[in-house]
Amino acid sequence: MVKLDFGGVKETVTTRKEFPVEKAKDILKKEIIAVLGYGIQGRAQSLNMRDNGLCVIIGQDKRFTKNWEQALEDGWVPGKTLFSVEEAAKKGTIKLYLLTDAAQKALWPVIKPTFKEGDALYFSHGFSIVYGDLTGVVPPENIDVILVAPKGSGTSVRRNFVAGSGINSSFAVHQDFTGRAEDRVKAIGIAIGSGYLFPTTFEKEVYSDLTGERGVLMGALAGIMEAQYNCLREKGHSPSEAFNETVEELTQSLIRLVDQNGMDWMYNNCSETARIGALRWKERFRDCVKPLFDSLYELVASGEEVKIVLEKSTEPGYAKKLADELAAMGNSEMWKAGKTVRSLRPDSKC
């Protein structure tokens, strides 16, 4: 393990240097890893583990044609490595519960009876366990309950693995029946291609994740972009100018500098005018938005946000409503402008 010091706050993480893939394979050599759900995370994690030489099977409902056909395309064989969710769960000693949060609630009565003493139940999100009073997901006492949460989409988990890098992940042990839960969870975390693993709890993972998704990672980012774009358009700026100053420069230039060496590095690589203005307005945005984040965190911790998710995701016609909302976003002037701008990039294949 590697000890890190964040300005006086110390943290211990696990890297692939002291926990190599060969060690993970040795720990998991007698396990049958059943990945339940071949969605974005299920596909990425199962392919990465298979490529690392682990015994992996897939549990996927045939009625979800797209996922089933993707599994076939990826080389999973019906009756050998591809089964129904229930059948795969019966076979697996470590069950990776990677269905959607709503599906985890719905299928738990089917999955729970498949556990044998000493099995492990694995999540990539603390949702079902932390909000067990709402989901009904309460594991048996004679199994391990573990979590590895990649800090990126399944698409990135797979892409980075293929490229030879990795996505950092958090890990947690909620229940250690066998005494081997920590070894098991770290082994899977390394096997799915994590860059490094940092410890958390199920509660902290889900609180930070739901706050982040609604905040900086998705909700706040999209909302702030729309606000600035609309402001510029209302003041007479063209769609190209508004989009480039709002999105294109951020995604194609500035955020890459942040990724490279931090926010201060990005500021130091911008003009003096930009630096002075950004430093002054950063304080205003921070002070304005902080109360909103406090409110968001409270709603997440109280379970109110989870109730909304479970209610909306099970409403009749939810899939169509979601498609309509995303289509409205994609068909907005701002993102139509984005499609046009992307097509004009020198390396574009559009």
Q: Hey, CA dihedral for 73, 76, 82, 85, is it positive or negative?
A: negative
Tokens of 272: 């003096």
Tokens of 279: 């430093």
d(CA 205, CA 75): 32
State how far the alpha carbon of 249 is from the alpha carbons of 17, 243, 339, 347, in Å. Answer: 36, 9, 14, 16
Q: Is 174 a catalytic residue?
A: no
| φ/ψ bin of 136: left (φ > 0), alpha (ψ from -120 to 50), beta (otherwise) | left
Cβ–Cβ under 8 Å, residues 240 and 334: no
Query: Is 234 exposed, middle or buried (CB count within 10 Å of its CB: 0-12, 13-18, 19+)?
Result: exposed
d(CA 148, CA 161): 16
- State phi, psi for 99 to the nearest 5 degrees: -70, 170
Which residue among 125, 158, 174, 186 is the active-site one?
125
H/E element, 291:
helix 272-302
Q: Which active-site residues does the annotation give? A: 125
